[in-house]
Every structure is written in structure tokens, then in C-alpha cells.
Structure 1
Amino acid sequence: MKPTLEAGYPVQSLEYWLSPELAKVSPPEAPSRLRQLADAQGTLAAGWSSAITGGPVLALTGTYGSILSGNLSWLIVLGLIGTALTVVGVLSWKRVRTTLPTSDKSLITRGPGSARGGITTMAVFAGLTGAALATALPAAAERGTTGALIGAYLLIVALLGACILVPSIVLGRARKSFRRRLDADPGFRKAVEDDLASWRDPYGHAGYGPL
């Protein structure tokens, strides 16, 4: 069936634009409305995924601080902040993944956009931090605080994982996750179909897809 025309634009079904074959023949960097939505949603989800995983790291940091200092205020303060951060992150994560992102602003991320990039970046920062802390090992050994220094380093690595690695994994899987939700969530698919019916490229005659 040939596509109909509306105001000079070819109108195709969402199923057509979601075709894996169409995505394969289109360069990954080629822009499309579907890719814009998936990438924007992935950017928002990546931010909240960092909050979800960062909360437990804060709580663990509070626990560690309390053990070292014997003061429960570390655990109470950082534990409460970490719990609140995780709860807000989970609620926001669910909302972001079930609604279409607004398209009036472009979302820009400075971090790595794939798991490989996240691992590389995290390894670099962890290596630099480890090298810096290694210079303090002799003094820590004299004071008997080597274990505390190692524990602090492990917490820093965990924080790097929450802030760099986890978001990069989410970003790298943004388009695949978007496609899965379209197949699994009828309400979300209806929202995308409504967007397809009303969207027109403001700068030319670009198509709605591929994804």
C-alpha cells in the first residue's frame, strides 16, 4: 500500500517506522522523531537511574562513617538522604518510562553513551583516584588506618559506578528499551501513535522514523 500524503508529508503507520530492517539500513546517527524521543527519554531515565543507585551508596557511606567515628549522625543523615534519593528516583524513573518526553528542548548529556564508554571512563577515574590515594598509604600504615583508606576508595568507586557506569548503560540501551515498551505497553504505544498523527518536521520533510 502506498503512503498517503498530508501537507506534502508521507504518512506511514507506526509499525512501518518501527521496522528493524528500516533501522538497519539507516545510520545510527541519522536523526528521526522516534530516535529523538527514545534518546530524550533515555537521557532522563539515565539521570534518575543514577539517583536510584546513588541512594544506597550514600547510605553505605553513612554506615561506614558511623563505624569509623562511632557517631550515628553519619548513618542517620546520609541514610535518610540516600533513602529519599532512591524513592524519588524510582518514582521518577517509572513516570519517565511511561510518558513521552517534551520535545521543545534538546537534552544534552556530557557523559558516555554506552556501557563500554562508561566502563572506560569509570576505570580512568578510579585509576587516577587510586593513584592519588596510594601516595597516602605509607602514612596510613603508620597510623594503622590502611583499612579505612581502602574502604574510602571502594566507596568512591561505588559512587563512580552510580554516577557514570549505570547511566551510560541506560543511555546505551535507550532505543532498545523504547522499542520494548512500545510492544509491551498499549498506553505508551497509543501516546506515540498520537504523536505520529500530529507531528511534522518543523525544518523540512524528515520522516517520523526509523528507530
Structure 2
Amino acid sequence: MNDRPERLRSYPGPDRPLEYWLSPELARLSPPEARSRLRELADAQGTLTAAWGAGIGGGVVFILTGIFIMVMGGGLGPFIALGLFGAGLLVGGILGCRRVRSRLPKTRHTLITRGPGSARGGISMIVFFGVVLGAVFGYGAFNGGAREGSTVAALIGAYILIMLFLVACLLVPSTIMGRSRASFRRKVQSNAQFRALLEEDLLTWRDPVGNASYGPL
């Protein structure tokens, strides 16, 4: 027998409706670092989506790397191996993103990220690595007089692929995480099924460690 009604009756009703906690005005009045259930959900979903998004970007880069190696005379072996691996990452990332965005994430364990948490931070890191790697690859490509065209093309291609990999691993996830709360709000407003999950969570959730409110977002 379904005990959901009994479980819901065991908690007092929420003091505010969900629409109140979703208010952008309320979010602007609250410091960004202030705790709330909505922010924990949005940040956790953003972190998980960012990880899968990096997998999508990485999969594309591995496929391009296989194509580049084949064009440069590396044969079909590396192209097939890297292509299959990249395709697996791409498909897995797409399915993972859809799965994460269709349900409320678990927030019992804090998800720790080591990379930048915003698009600006991701761009800054990419620019830094781009300058450093550009100097190294430029020295290797053009130092010591004229070099064979294929060697220069290989070094330039390798540099581009490394930069694309950095975009996939740094810029894509940092952009997703930086917009996680705004994306979460749009998801709630546009998806009735997801909003219903949040409405049920509002009825049952109580802060297990303090007195944090359900919102703002």
C-alpha cells in the first residue's frame, strides 16, 4: 500500500508557497552565499550537469583528434579507437545530462569542484594556458629556421586540439555551473513535471542541520 499521504501528513505544511521562494526579487535581496534548499538543489544539479557537459565536449574533441591523426597519416586504427571512445563519451554525456535535469539531485553529500565556477573564470584560465602553450608550440614550430610543412601543421593542429580540450574541460562546465541557478529557475517555470517534484519536496523537506529556509533561489 502506498504510504505517501501518511508521510506527507507527518510534516507541517510549508509557511510559504514555492512561487514566493522562486522570486528573482527575493534572490537579489539575499547574499549569494546564503544557504537555502533551492540553492543546494540548483548548485548540485548544475555541478552534475557540468560534469556530463564536459563529457560531451570531451567526446567531440576525441573524435576530432582521431580524424586529425588519420588525416596526418596515422591510419584508421587511432581514428577508430578515438572515434569510438569519443562517441561513447558523447552519447553518455547527452543521456547523463537528460537524466540529471529530469529529477531532483541528492544533496546529502557536498559535491566539490576544483575548476572555475563561472564563465569568466573559465575564460581566464583558457587564455592563460593558451598563451603559455602557444609560446611553447610556436617555439617548436618555427624555431631553428624553416621546417617541413607537415611538422608545422601537426604542431598547429595539436595546439588547436589541446585548446578545444581545455574548452570542453574548463569553459563548458564553468559556464554551466555559473548559470545553474538561473537554469534551475527556468526549468521549474517551463516544466510542469519538474515543478511537481519540487512542490512535493517543499512539503516534506526540513533542514537536517540548522534552520535554513527553503529558498530563495
TM-score where L is the length of structure 2: 0.90
Can you give the 5+ residue segments of structure 2 that lack an aligned partner in the other structure?
A: 1-9
Q: 1:162 aligns with which of 168, 171, 182?
A: 168
**Residue 39 (structure 1) shift:** 0.3
Q: 1:41 & 1:124 partners in 2: Cα distance?
A: 29
* CA displacement, residues 172-193 of structure 1 (integer Å, 9 cap, x when unaligned): 1100100001011111111111
* CA displacement, residues 130-179 of structure 1 (integer Å, 9 cap, x when unaligned): 12222312259434411111111001111111010111111111001000
2:46 paired with 1:38? no
2:140 paired with 1:128? no
2:206 paired with 1:200? yes
Q: 1:191 aligns with which of 179, 197, 202?
A: 197
**Which structure 2 residues correspond to residues 66-85 of structure 1 after superposition, within 5 A?**
66-85=70-89
**Which structure 2 residues correspond to residues 7-156 of structure 1 after superposition, within 5 A?**
11-137=15-141, 138=143, 141-144=146-149, 145-156=151-162
- Say if 2:14 and 2:202, in contact at 8 Å, map to a contact too: no
Cα 1:142–1:182 change in 2 (3 A) is same
Cα 1:140–1:120 change in 2 (3 A) is farther
Q: 1:162 & 1:10 partners in 2: Cα distance?
A: 41
Q: 1:172 aligns with which of 178, 189, 210?
A: 178
Corresponding letter in the other structure for 1:196: L
**Residue 59 (structure 1) shift:** 0.6
May I ask how many residue pairs the two structures share in their alignment?
206
Corresponding letter in the other structure for 2:25: E
- Say if 1:59 and 1:83, in contact at 8 Å, map to a contact too: yes
Corresponding letter in the other structure for 2:176: V
Q: 1:17 & 1:176 partners in 2: Cα distance?
A: 13
Q: 1:185 & 1:101 partners in 2: Cα distance?
A: 16
- Say if 1:32 and 1:210, in contact at 8 Å, map to a contact too: yes
- Say if 1:140 and 1:146, in contact at 8 Å, map to a contact too: no
Q: 2:80 & 2:62 partners in 1: Cα distance?
A: 11
Q: Which runs of 4+ in 1 moved over 4 A?
A: 6-10
Q: Which residue of 1 aligns with 2:3?
A: none
**Residue 10 (structure 1) shift:** 6.4
Identity %: 53
TM-score where L is the length of structure 1: 0.92
RMSD (Å), alpha carbons: 1.8
**Residue 70 (structure 1) shift:** 4.0
- Say if 1:9 and 1:205, in contact at 8 Å, map to a contact too: no
Corresponding letter in the other structure for 1:153: Y
- Say if 1:140 and 1:149, in contact at 8 Å, map to a contact too: no
Can you give the 5+ residue segments of structure 1 that lack an aligned partner in the other structure?
A: 1-5
Q: Which residue of 2 aligns with 1:3?
A: none
- Say if 2:57 and 2:168, in contact at 8 Å, map to a contact too: yes
Q: 2:70 & 2:145 partners in 1: Cα distance?
A: 19
Q: 1:141 & 1:189 partners in 2: Cα distance?
A: 63
**Residue 48 (structure 1) shift:** 0.5
